[in-house]
Amino acid sequence: MTSSITEVAGIEVGHFTDPRRPTGCTVVLARGSAVAGVDVRGAAPGTRETDLLHPANTVERVHAVLLSGGSAWGLDAAGGVMRWLEEQGIGLAVGPARVPIVPGAVLFDLPLGDHRIRPDAAAGYAACQAASRMPPEEGNVGAGAGAVVGKIFGLPRAMKGGIGSASVTVDGVTVGALVACNALGDVLDPDSGRVLAGARSADGSQLLDARRALLRGEAPRPVMAGTNTTIGVIATDAVITKAQAARLATVGHDGLARAINPAHTLFDGDTLFALGTGESGRSPGLMTLAAMAAEACALAVVRAVRAARGIDIAGLHLPACGELG
């Protein structure tokens, strides 16, 4: 079976991909609820329900996490996720009602096609209907449908991003990650440092290596804040506390920084959530879990671009990883 976040007991993933333009949303379900944390590192995030995940705040557990395209409009998809969960009788018991707790984050994909088409509540509901324990599809689907990487020298020199997943298992405990990569920077192989996808040369024929280009003085193109972003979910079946979930979200960003350069810029809204289902009934300790989380995130980023397919839209060609000679 393909290594993915659904290797974590208690986790399901569903995508909705809009057929009208490259956009969509992805839901990570924890029907039995999960301890949750978050770490927002980018300077231009688009999020919901992140304050309640602070370790000092009351709510301990969530029922789903939404990842969506559509910029801030995409947060509307969370309403559909809540409706679906309510219909299943899933949520936090508050008197006569059950309120599903659904944090979420969005990425910016509005330049690809008609920006008036973006994920809404119906899209979030459809993503829940599609959710399963099967390894999720990767590449140009769900929240990764409109993802683009390597925009630091302009969109015409960028490449197609996507969504990817990976997992790591140690001594019977699994940590998985699901990441939608729409980064301003390049995506690298974390082991070799080789650029896999990102900014291209002026003629578009080869990878540029944005880090080296910046260091030799090539000026980046002006970028609007929030027009990039890598968002994702880390999940584990280990028994963890809310504070430990927050720490896993933090160290997951180490994995992003291994696979994306530059990461966490002023123009990215990089956000990672962490979920703990506790279904393994054990824990190898936070040091090991942290190493696993960073590794899974880095691998998921790589999988996102390797699974992506090149697209042509409105006269713009965004090649996929492996297309360049």
CA atoms 153, 159, 161, 166: torsion sign? negative
Q: Is residue 324 part of a domain?
A: no
> Which comes out higher in pLDDT, residue 56 or 224?
56
% of the chain with per-residue pLDDT over 70: 98
Omega before 119 within 30 of 0, i.e. cis: no
Average predicted confidence (pLDDT) for the chain: 94
Q: Is residue 325 part of a domain?
A: no
Query: Would you call 52 exposed, middle or buried from its count of C-beta atoms within 10 A (0-12, 13-18, 19+)?
Result: middle
Average pLDDT in the 18-29 region? 97
| Structure token digits, residue 63 | 């029922």
Omega before 103 within 30 of 0, i.e. cis: no
Q: What domain range includes position 46?
A: 5-318
Q: What share of the chain is helix, strand, coil (3-state, %, to 5)?
A: 25, 30, 45
What is the predicted pLDDT for the residue at 2?
Answer: 59
Count up the domains in the chain and report the number.
Answer: 1
Query: Please, which pLDDT band fits residue 266 given cuts at 50, 70 and 90?
Result: confident
Q: Is residue 152 part of a domain?
A: yes
In the chain, how many H helices and how many E strands? 5, 18
What is the predicted pLDDT for the residue at 219?
Answer: 80
Which spans in 45-185 are helix H? 77-87, 121-129
**β-pair type (271-276, 260-261):** unpaired
For 2-15, the pLDDT digits (tens) are 599 999 999 999 99
> What is the distance between the alpha carbons of residues 146 and 113, in angstroms, rounded to a whole number?
9
The answer to whether 67 and 164 have CB atoms below 8 angstroms apart is no
Q: Is residue 217 part of a domain?
A: yes
For 197-241, the pLDDT digits (tens) are 999 998 888 999 988 988 988 888 766 665 789 999 999 999 999
For 175-185, the pLDDT digits (tens) are 999 999 999 99
> What is the distance between the alpha carbons of residues 262 and 185, in angstroms, rounded to a whole number?
5
Query: Please, which pLDDT band fits residue 44 given cuts at 50, 70 and 90?
Result: confident
Is residue 222 left, alpha or beta, with left meaning phi > 0 and alpha meaning psi from -120 to 50?
Answer: beta
The answer to whether 52 and 278 have CB atoms below 8 angstroms apart is no
Q: Is residue 198 part of a domain?
A: yes
For 105-157, the pLDDT digits (tens) are 999 999 999 999 999 999 999 999 999 999 999 999 999 999 999 999 999 99
For 234-262, the pLDDT digits (tens) are 999 999 999 999 999 999 999 999 999 99
Among 226, 199, 202, 290, smallest CA distance to 253 is for 290
Q: 97: which strand partners? A: 94
The CATH number that applies at residue 273 is 3.60.70.12
